[in-house]
Amino acid sequence: MKQRTLWSASLVAGLVVLAGCGSASDPDSASGGSKGKLVVWDWKSGDATASSYVKKAKADFAKRHPGVTVEFVAQPFEQYYTLLGAAIQAGKGPDVMLFNGGGQIRDRVDSLLPLDEYVRDDRKRLAGWEAFTKDSKTYAAPVTLQGHPIYYNKSLYRKAGLDPEQPAASWDEFVADCRTISKATGARCFAQGNKEGIGIQFFLSGLGSGVLSPTEYDDWIAGERDWSSPAVKRVFSLWKEADDKGLNNDGANSTAMFNDAFAVFQSHKAAHVIGLMSDIGHWKDFAEFLDAGNVGVMKSPVVTAGATPSLPYDGGIGYAVAKWTKDPEVAADLVRSLTSTDVLKSFYADAGAIAADRTVDVSSGGPAVATIVSEIDRGKPALHVALPSKTVDLMGRLSQQLLSGSVTVDAAVKQLAASDQAG
């Protein structure tokens, strides 16, 4: 027994002696694809709706670099950043990789190549660059725009005797309309899901421009966030108030945002949902169930006087280049092929995503997409995208605590301020 205990103790001691040797993430490891081959990681190329997009991008790139093979490796989205994190730590990741805009890419810029000198000519044609920028350097070129429009079900408005073309412009009118709709149709006001804590991100960005003044909004995006301001607190009190007043579907904390909440909206059980502009939960998805003519898009109602509601959007997804790639210029050229106009047209047509390219024609997409696109020029970056991912994660948990009443708005914003400051 004593000998075995000695062995166990020696093993633990040996492990501790190793302390301090090496690091979990080794930035100096060199690797990447070999010359003549580029490896791309994403979570899109496996989708049927993206196949013609990938095919066209490959063809466009092959015209300019006939000797370079491009291999797409589609990863499952749920595991994507875990797998990418492991690859980055090993220094043996792909040459080109897909990122969501915001915290996910900003947290990993140490491993990425600044693309500014390669994408200079695409600057004006594409929108949404800010979501892929850190410290004035651009690390990815945008493929889609991602935003959080408030979608509404026009048929429920009609059934309730409301004018579906004139949704409420103020919060009080909005709540009154919701009461009318609920009475007439039984549908709730919001399809809300918060099982993963994602609901608050949609709520903050979807309604934030109706609460914060334009100056305060711009300061927030610029990183000067005053968490103690009454308007910021109002967003979080509104979150709780909406649930307390029964505006959300029941059991929001056990309902997932993706799939569940959107299903509630699509099945006429809720009149509004704060959705997306690309991927899922967007105009094209909803149109399959509600008919394109019944899918309305509205801006946030004005909650506090002086607020100027606008469409919240950023670059949605974009391709970045690893700094370990053997030939940065060629890899950047692949990114340019993946974001060229003809290629993005396919992505819009097949997947329904709002492409980052302003020159893509969307006139056949129906009224909802026309409204969204018409608001892009007046739109502003989404509030939650500007936050560090750690703060977003904390905000998810606090949002659940707000709903259950186990934290006050003041205590929640205090914790968020501390997390935001720590970065």
Residues in contact with another protein by CB under 8 A are 4, 8, 11-12, 14-16, 18-27, 79, 81-83, 85-86, 89, 107-108, 110, 194-197, 250-255, 260, 389-390, 393, 396-397, 400-401, 404, 406
Least spacing, CB of residue 89 vs another protein, in Å: 6
Question: Nearer Cβ to another protein, position 19 or 305?
Answer: 19
Going by DSSP bridges, is the β-strand pair 295-298/188-190 parallel, antiparallel, or unpaired?
unpaired
Kindly tell me which of 26 and 288 has the beta carbon lying closer to another protein. Answer: 26
> In this structure, which amino acid lies at residue 367?
P
Q: How far is the CB of 264 from another protein (least distance, A)?
A: 9
Q: Indicate the residue among 69 and 259 with the shorter CB distance to another protein.
A: 259
User: 126 or 416, CB closer to another protein?
Assistant: 416
Smallest distance from another protein to CB 157, Å: 24
| Smallest gap from residue 114 Cβ to another protein (A) | 18
Least CB distance from residue 422 to another protein, whole Å? 11
Distance CA 235, CA 200 (A): 10
In whole angstroms, the minimum distance from the beta carbon of 251 to another protein comes to 2
8 Å CB contact between 67 and 36: yes
Q: Nearer Cβ to another protein, position 138 or 248?
A: 248
Task: Give whichever of 14 and 161 is closer to another protein, judged by the CB atom.
Answer: 14
Q: Quick one: 176 or 411, whose CB is closer to another protein?
A: 411
Which class for 73: exposed (0-12), middle (13-18), buried (19 or more C-beta within 10 A)?
middle
**66 or 423: whose CB is closer to another protein?**
423
> Nearest distance from residue 231's CB to another protein, in Å?
25
| Rounded Cα gap, residues 376 and 202, in angstroms | 18
For the bound state, the minimum distance from the C-beta of residue 303 to another protein, rounded and expressed in Å, comes to: 26
What is the gyration radius of the CA atoms in the chain, in angstroms? 23
Helix (H) or strand (E) holding 234: helix 230-244
Residue (252 or 386) nearer to another protein, CB: 252
- How many C-beta atoms surround the C-beta of residue 34 within 10 A? 11
- Gap between the Cα atoms of 249 and 194, Å rounded: 11
* DSSP string across 323-383: TT-S-HHHHHHHHHHHTSHHHHHHHHHHH---BSBTTS--TTS-HHHHHHHHHGGG-B--T
Helix (H, G, I), strand (E, B) or coil at 108: coil
Q: Output the DSSP codes for 31-44.
A: --SPTTEEEEEESS
Measured over the CA atoms of residue 275, residue 276, residue 282 and residue 283, the dihedral's sign is positive
- Tracing tokens 């009224």 back to the chain, one arrives at 367
User: How far is 103 from 144, CA to CA, in rounded Å?
Assistant: 17
CB of 423 to another protein, least distance (A): 9
CA dihedral angle for residue 27, residue 33, residue 34, residue 36, rounded to 10 degrees: -140
